Amino acid sequence: MTALVEVKGLDKAFGGVHAVEGVSFSVEAGQVYSVIGPNGAGKTTLFNLITGLYTPTKGEILLNGESTAKLEPNELAERGMCRTFQQMQICMNMTAIENVMLGRHLQLKSSLFTTLFRLPSLRRNEAAARKRAAELMEYVGCGDYLDAEASAMSYGALKRLEIARALAAEPKVILLDEPAAGLNAVETAALEDLIRKIADQGTTVMLVEHDMKLVMGISDRLLVLNYGRVLAEGTPEEIRQNPDVIAAYLGG
Amino acid sequence: MLNTFMQSRLRGLVILALILVILPAFLGNPFHYELVTQMAIIAATVVGLNLLVGFAGQISLGHAGFFGLGAYFTGIATGTYGWSSVPALVVGAIVVGAIAWIVGRPILRLKGHYLSMATLAVGFIIAIILNNERALTGGPDGMPVPAFEIFGWELSAFGRYSLFGITIEGFQAWYIFASVVLLVAVWFALNLIESPIGRALRSVHGSEVAASVVGVNTAKYKSLVFVISAIYASLMGSLYAHFQGFITPAVASFEFSILFITMVVLGGMGSTFGVILGAVVLKLLPQVLADFQELEHVMFGLILMLTMIFMPKGLLPTLTAFVSKKMRKKAGGEA
C-alpha cells in the first residue's frame, strides 16, 4: 500500500529560524494521523507546508505519489486535500450554509453564460448543493444554523462549520488544525465522535491537537515534534512509553 | 402569497421595475427625463463596479477609465468610421474586457492601498491618452457621437416616435431604453451573485485563504470579476456617449472614478439595490443643493461625511436593518 501523504526531509526556515527541520513521515490512506508537540514546535507550519500555503525551503511532499512542489492550495484541493484552521477562516460576509456550499466549489462547475441567465441546470445543481450542505451541517452538528449569518454563530458552531465546509469538498485527506481548542468537554466529546465518523467513512484524517485524551483515543499513529524536529513517531502506545516524549512533553 | 413574494430572490428587481414604470408620472420636463436616464446608465455602471468592490472586496479607483474607453470606442467607431451602434458597443466591450484582463492579471496581485494606487494609475493613463490623441478623440475639446441606431432605426433624444399608435418623445424613448438596460444589468448581477461563481467571489472577500483551500482559484476569480465590471462600465459608457451625443475626456476622469466609488460606498457595498440608491442620491444632490450656490460643495461634503459616520454600512443596508428591526419589534409585541 502506498502512502497517501508522504513527507521527505522537509525544511522551512523563516530568516534564521528553522520552524520545521528534516521532518519525514508518511500517512496511509484511511488512517487518523496526529501531530503533537509543545507550542511553537512547528505543527501548524507543517500543515501550512502540506496544504501549499507555505513553500518548503528544502524537502518534498508527495500527495498520492505526486510532488506538490509547484501546486497552489486550490490545486491541492482539486487533488483531494482540504483543511481547517487553528485561526478559523470563515467567510463572515456569507450565511452559514453558503460557507458550506463554498466547499462544493470544485463539484459545481458552471459557465458564465449559464450563470448570467440562471439556466435550469444551475438551479438544479444549486438545489442539490444546498441539500448536501444542509446534510453536512446536520452531520457535524450545526443543523440549527442553516440560514444564520456566519457572524452570528458561536465559536464552537463555527469550528464545526469549518469542518463541514472541508467535508463538502469530498476530500481524500482532511487536515484539522486544533479542532478542539476552545471547546468545552461536551463539545470535545462530540468532536471525537465526529472525527471517528469521518475516518470510518474512509477519509484520511490528519490532526494537530493539544488535547492528549482526544489524540490518544482516536489516532492510529502519532508524530511528535519538538523545536521543529521529529522527536518520535509511532502508535499511541509506543508514544506513551517513549522516554524522550515523556521527558519533553507528556511529563513524568 | 405576499410573504412568499417578499422572500423571493427577485422581489427587489420587481420593485425596481415598478418604480421605473411609475416614475414618469413625476417627471415634468425633458430635463427631468435626461437626469433620470443618466442616473439609470450610471446606476448600471456602479452595479457592475459593486461586483468587484462590494462582493469580491477588491477596489478600482480607475473605473471611469473603462467607462471612457467604451464611450470613445463607440464615438470613434460610429462617428468616424460609420459603424452601426450595436457592433460598436459589443466590439468595444470585448476590447475593454481584454484590456481589463491584461491589466488586471498583474495588478490584482496587489492588495489594499497598493491596488487602489495601481487602478488609479490605470484610470489616469486612459484619461491622458484620450486627452492627447487629438486626431482620434478630438482631445480636450471632445467629439460628437451619432444617435444610437439599430436596424437603421435611430434613437435620438430629440426625435419623436410612434409605437403601436402611441406617440412618444425621444427623451421618453431613451428613458424606457435605459430602464430596460438597468433592469437587465441588475438581473445579471443578481444571478451572478447567487451562483457558485458569486460565492467564490464573495469568499475572496471573506477569506482568501479559506477560498483557496476549498479549491477556489482566487487569482482567476479576481481577474474575472475585474473584467466583468470593466465590461459593464464599457457598455454603459457606449450608451452614455450615444445618449449625450457629445463626449469629452471628462467621462474617463479621476473625478468620475471617485464618483462611482462614492456611489458604491454611500449606497451600500455589496448591496445591488443599495448602489443604485447611491447613484440616484449622488446625481440628485447637486440639483437639490444648487440653491446653496457657493456653499453647494461644502453641503455636499458635509452630507457625505455625516452619512458615512452615522451609516457606515451605506444607505440601503442601514435602512433595511432599521425597518426589519421595527417589524420584528412589532411582531414581538403581537406574540
Helices B196-206 & B170-193 angle (0-180, nearest 10)? 70
| One-letter identity of residue A226 | N
**In terms of Cα–Cα distance, which of B254, B182, B195 is closest to B224?**
B195
User: B216: distance to nearest CA of chain A, Å?
Assistant: 6
**H helices of chain B, where?**
2-7, 11-22, 30-50, 63-74, 85-107, 112-132, 134-137, 170-193, 196-206, 208-213, 218-244, 254-267, 272-289, 296-310, 315-334
**In terms of Cα–Cα distance, which of B188, B44, A77 is closest to B197?**
B188
User: A47: distance to nearest CA of chain B, Å?
Assistant: 12
- Give chain B's residues under pLDDT 70: 1-7, 332-335
DSSP 8-state symbol, A149: B
| One-letter identity of residue B83 | W
What are the pLDDT digits (tens) for B107-140? 999 998 999 999 999 999 999 999 999 999 999 9
Q: Which residues 6+ apart lie within 8 Å of A18 measured at CB?
A: A11, A12, A228
The stretch A165-191 carries a mean pLDDT of 93
Helix (H) or strand (E) holding A214: helix A212-218
pLDDT at A251: 63
What are the pLDDT digits (tens) for B56-96? 999 999 999 999 999 999 999 999 999 999 999 999 999 99
What are the pLDDT digits (tens) for A189-230? 999 999 999 999 999 999 999 889 999 999 999 999 999 999
Q: Please, what are the domains in chain A?
A: 1-80+171-252 (3.40.50.300), 89-170 (3.40.50.300)
In a domain, B322, yes or no: no
User: Would you give the end-to-end CA distance of chain A in angstroms?
Assistant: 37
For residue A36 the three cell numbers come to 503533537
Hey, is B302 helix, strand or coil? helix
CB contact under 8 A, A101 and B199: yes
What are the pLDDT digits (tens) for A41-55? 999 999 999 999 999
pTM of this structure: 0.93
CB-based contact A174:A208 (threshold 8 Å): no
- Secondary-structure breakdown of chain A: helix, strand, coil percentages, each rounded to the nearest 5: 40, 25, 30
CB-based contact B46:B275 (threshold 8 Å): yes
CB-based contact B320:B326 (threshold 8 Å): no
In a domain, B304, yes or no: no
CB contact under 8 A, B191 and A112: no
CB-based contact B216:A105 (threshold 8 Å): yes
Going from the C-alpha of B92 to that of each of A196, B67, B89, B119, B142, the distances in angstroms are 57, 10, 5, 20, 18
Question: Which string of DSSP letters, residue by residue, matches A158-213?
Answer: HHHHHHHHHHHT--SEEEEESTTTT--HHHHHHHHHHHHHHHHTT-EEEEE-S-HH
Q: Report the DSSP pairing between strands A204-208 and A3-14.
A: unpaired
Could you give the ipTM of this predicted complex?
0.92
For residue A203 the three cell numbers come to 477519509
Separation CA A80–CA A74 (nearest Å): 10
Give the one of A112, A118, A169 whose C-beta lies nearest to B215's C-beta.
Answer: A169
pLDDT at B152: 75
List residues of A whose CB lies inside 8 A of any B CB.
51, 53, 72-74, 76-78, 82-83, 85, 89-94, 98, 101-106, 108-110, 112, 115-118, 122, 125-126, 129, 165-166, 168-169
Contact list in A for residue B212 (CB cut-off 8 A) is 53, 72-74, 77
Q: What percent of chain A has pLDDT over 70?
A: 98
Q: What is the mean pLDDT of chain A?
A: 93
pLDDT at B202: 97
Range of the domain at B76: 6-297
What's the domain count of chain B?
1
pLDDT at A1: 55
Q: Tell me, what CATH number does B272's domain have? A: 1.10.3470
CB atoms within 10 A of CB B111: 12
In a domain, B335, yes or no: no
Separation CA B226–CA A130 (nearest Å): 28
The stretch A96-117 carries a mean pLDDT of 95
**In terms of Cα–Cα distance, which of B4, B60, B28 is closest to B227?**
B60
CB atoms within 10 A of CB A138: 13
DSSP 8-state symbol, A249: I
Separation CA B69–CA A177 (nearest Å): 49
Helix (H) or strand (E) holding A140: helix A120-140
Q: What percent of chain A has pLDDT over 90?
A: 87
Q: Which residues 6+ apart lie within 8 Å of B122 measured at CB?
A: B62, B65, B103, B107
CB contact under 8 A, A85 and B209: yes
In a domain, B186, yes or no: yes
Going from the C-alpha of B137 to that of each of A124, B86, B129, B140, B142, the distances in angstroms are 49, 20, 9, 8, 7
pLDDT at B335: 44
